[in-house]
Amino acid sequence: MALNRQMLIDAGETITGYTFNIAELLWESEQASGSNAAYLYPEGNKRLAMIGDAVSKLAILGDLRARNIPRGSMDSIVQRVVNNANLERVGRRNHIDDLVNRNPSQQGIVSPRIVADTVEAILGAVYLDSGNDIDCVRLVMARIGLWPQEQEQQLALL
């Protein structure tokens, strides 16, 4: 059964635990390039993914700096958390791949890169929708298990 726009928005809000004021931002975050909404979002969710990439790193770095983590360790931790493989793993575990409004020519499984981009795009959408509130992004990151999670245990070893 194909999911319609409202169903995908509702599912996205359920997964993230965040209720959007501007649902259009969540809808944009769910768009793959060439989706049936390409006339609205010719680049799909790529612009929101850029924002989500930056804001997720900012949230993690802020948390690590507050703990007096050395700069080199901060960089390593950020790279482990926000790399595409981890973003894809977190996305699939939370069924974010099911939210992607795909290009009609794409059949079967959603590619790893699209899942990773969609996770970042959702974080970017939360950031914009919340009036640039990094704490809202942190809450969604925690809800989906991106940060903190096992990273907390790794920090104890530093």
- Give alpha helix (H) positions in the chain: 5-16, 23-29, 46-66, 71-82, 84-93, 112-129, 134-143, 150-157
Tokens matching residue 52:
């989500």
Backbone angles phi, psi at 101, to 5 degrees: -85, 105
Catalytic residue among 53, 63, 88, 117: 53
Read off the DSSP letter of residue 99: G
Residue 101, helix vs strand vs coil = strand
24 is catalytic: no
28 is catalytic: no
Catalytic residue among 63, 117, 120, 129: 120
Backbone angles phi, psi at 102, to 5 degrees: -85, 165
Of the chain, the end-to-end C-alpha distance in Å amounts to: 48
Task: Just list the catalytic residues.
Answer: 53, 120
